[in-house]
Amino acid sequence: MSFAASLAQSIAGLNVAQQEAVNYLHGPCLVLAGAGSGKTRVITHKIGRLIQAGLKPEQVAAITFTNKAAAEMRERAKGLIGKSAQGVLICTFHALGVRMLRQDGAVLGLKPQFSILDSDDVTSILKDAGGSTDAATARQWQWTISLWKNQGLNAAQAEAQASDAQERALARIMARYEERLSAYQSVDFDDLIGLPLKLLRDHAEVRERWQTALRHVLVDEYQDTNATQYELLKLLVGERGRFTAVGDDDQSIYGWRGATLDNLKKLPEDFAALKVVKLEQNYRSTSAILRAANNVIGPNPKLYPKTLFSELGEGEPVRVIDCDNEEHEAERAVARIQSLRAGHGDSPHREWRDFAILYRANHQAKPFEKALRRAQIPYKVSGGQSFFDRAEVKDLCAWLRLMVNNDDDPAFMRAITSPKRGIGHATLAALGSFASSYKLSLFESLLSNSLGSVLSGKTLGSLQEFGRYVNDLEFRARHTVGAEPALTFLMDWLKDMGYEQHLYDAEDSEQVAAARWSNVIDFCEWMAQRCGGQIDDTAGVTTAAETKTLLEVVQTIALLSTISEREQDQNVVTLSTLHASKGLEWPHVVLAGCVEGLLPFKLDDEQGAGSDDLQLRLQEERRLMYVGITRAQRSLAVSWLRRRKKGRDYIAGVPSRFIAEMALDKSTVKEDPREKLRALRAEFAKRAAENEKTQADRPT
């Protein structure tokens, strides 16, 4: 069957609203995709339809918010349209920003090999810029500066609109922070949106080139965009406005990090020809679950009213479980999981992976972990420590970043001390002072003829040897192509600098050291895979035939937050915060801790918060509850506490107002999973006894 015929047949299988969204090609389109309404299916089919209509694959871009979502979309597009999918740019906003800056950043004074700083690097630079030794203070500065950047403000603009002396002082710290980033030829994650925006806004020739290159842009999870991302999108698509924004205002839960529903309000104002398509048929949940979800979200004001419906039947009633305290809540959640998994009659066998326990804040996980371990039920805590947050992986990333960008001072400081090379703090302090006085990077200072005036011959020799070693590694990495050569390079490098011994020397426990070394091996194998062209989850699609140099792969490394291949398809119960659960689904969900003060979260705790601010926060908390409810496919239980911990004390628990808003049937709502489990066990015991009697009564 031809591509066109196959695609037409596949589109014919979509519902009417989905077909309308897919077939509208020549103008701006907003697809309001309710939870579970098949938005990824719509996006991938629209990619195919655009190519069928005459666009080249490389003229189509689909922008997501996570590497995982990009990888899933890439796979779905490949399954639908075959090899054509390889040319489509499917990536995150940040990966698109990297691509733009690598290609055109020179007009902003950026070298193509600029470094991308992680959160720890930013904290360290801010401590220096603000003259503080307190990491917690620096992280608070980091948070505020990030919000300013997401609002499109630079240091001068932030100072001009500062409301008090404290904000003015922070704006001046931001200015010093910006100076350091420029000197280090480095950017932070917010710059990966802000600088491409500056690129398109201030340089007409660059803007025209990108608008010509990308003829249709699709944006997933549009409700999560911030002000800067919206302005970037506008400049990418230009006045012709050929884009498809797919999102759901009812699932906007990231206001605390700059996401704004104003972007949905602005679309019809900025693009008068905007076509709006609503996807209201849910393919995930039963009617009972959707009714609870629709009731909860009902009180929120609506930009575009919609009501989800399902053709999957009524299903089990949503249950409410009242609990004495956190430990009791965990016991009842585990009992529910055990009883559902045991099943009855003709019910299907259920795996551990079919269950999730969701909650508002990370600290709520502990009692559930204890109860699951006690019951010997395997589980994972979603949103745990990222692979790239492990010290040993950060060490190696610092070395690789320094190879790519010698001006990356944070990477220099980490690499030169991991492992230690006999270069102490006093030497590094002297090098830092020298670099500051001559306005050089630390690495540039190693090559200066004047450095001998402040450092002794032996110390100077050690520093210069380090510099030569990095340059040699960079040269070899630039000429290392393909998976096997890359792995050989990396393993030889680790052996040469004695990194395995460094890990064992640093740990009292051999077991811990061995686990850390195992992470290092995993990291090296993972890097080598990318050199072989097997995987590319940062910037577009890599075919199996494409290979890359190790240096090219290193340039994408700071964008990756997890080695997703390590976490595939584990048969375990999931524990997750509500924020981390967005975009996921499970057959059976327990939504825990539904009490006032947790969900919704501390609405009256902020001094000076106006009634409008509190109302906006309540609306976002209600959307968070809605997201939690709509993660469930077949069954949902909501639990609350009669008393809950607050610090070292217990306080009375009040059921969340959202439970009442769900408007559940009082006759079916209450459940005691322990009673259900006891009844199941009694039934099994009865059946076993009957079977035994039947066997005994049979003639021999």
Residues marked active site are found at 39-40, 220-221, 251, 631
Q: Which of 638, 640, 628 has its CA nearest to residue 595?
A: 640
Give the H or E element holding residue 310. strand 309-310
Measure the CA dihedral 175/180/183/189, to 10°: -90
Residue type, 245: A
DSSP one-letter code for 38: -
DSSP one-letter code for 325: S
Q: In this structure, are residues 77 and 47 in contact, taking their beta carbons and an 8 Å threshold?
A: yes
Please name every residue paired with 29 in a beta bridge, in sequence order, or none if there are none: 244, 275
Q: Cα–Cα distance between 286 and 635 in angstroms, integer? A: 8
281 SS3 class: strand
Q: What are phi and psi of 608, to 5 degrees?
A: 80, 0
Q: In this structure, are residues 14 and 22 in contact, taking their beta carbons and an 8 Å threshold?
A: yes
Residue type, 462: S
How far, in Å, are 182, 450, 470, 661 from residue 437 at the CA level? Answer: 16, 12, 24, 64
Q: In this structure, are residues 372 and 379 in contact, taking their beta carbons and an 8 Å threshold?
A: yes
Angle between helices 510-531 and 483-496 (to 10 degrees): 150
Q: What are phi and psi of 346, to 5 degrees?
A: -95, 15
Pairing state of beta strands 186-187 and 60-64?
unpaired
Pairing state of beta strands 643-646 and 649-652?
antiparallel
The span from the first CA to the last CA of the chain, in angstroms, equals 63
Q: Cα–Cα distance between 22 and 40 in angstroms, integer? A: 11
Q: Which H, E and C letters describe 545-601, residue by residue? A: CCCCEHHHHHCCHHHCCCCHHHHCCCCCEEEEEHHHHCCCCEEEEEECCCECEECCE
Q: Which of 163, 622, 658, 115 has its CA nearest to residue 410?
A: 115
Q: Cα–Cα distance between 95 and 560 in angstroms, integer? A: 10
66 SS3 class: coil
Q: Residue 410, preceding bond cis, omega within 30 degrees? A: no
* 520 Cβ contact partners less than 8 Å away, ≥ 6 residues apart: 392, 393, 396, 494, 499, 500, 503
Q: What are phi and psi of 42, to 5 degrees?
A: -65, -45
DSSP one-letter code for 347: P
Q: Cα–Cα distance between 446 and 466 in angstroms, integer? A: 9
Q: Cα–Cα distance between 236 and 225 in angstroms, integer? A: 15
Task: Please give the structure tokens belonging to residue 428.
Answer: 């590094």
Please provide the DSSP assignment of 188-257 as one string.
-TTHHHHHHHHHHHH-HHHHHHHHHH-SEEEESSGGG-BHHHHHHHHHHHTTTT-EEEEE-GGG---GGG
Q: Cα–Cα distance between 458 and 468 in angstroms, integer? A: 15
Q: Which residue has the tokens 């700083």?
A: 117
Task: Please give the structure tokens belonging to residue 269.
Answer: 């104002």
Q: Cα–Cα distance between 315 and 448 in angstroms, integer? A: 74
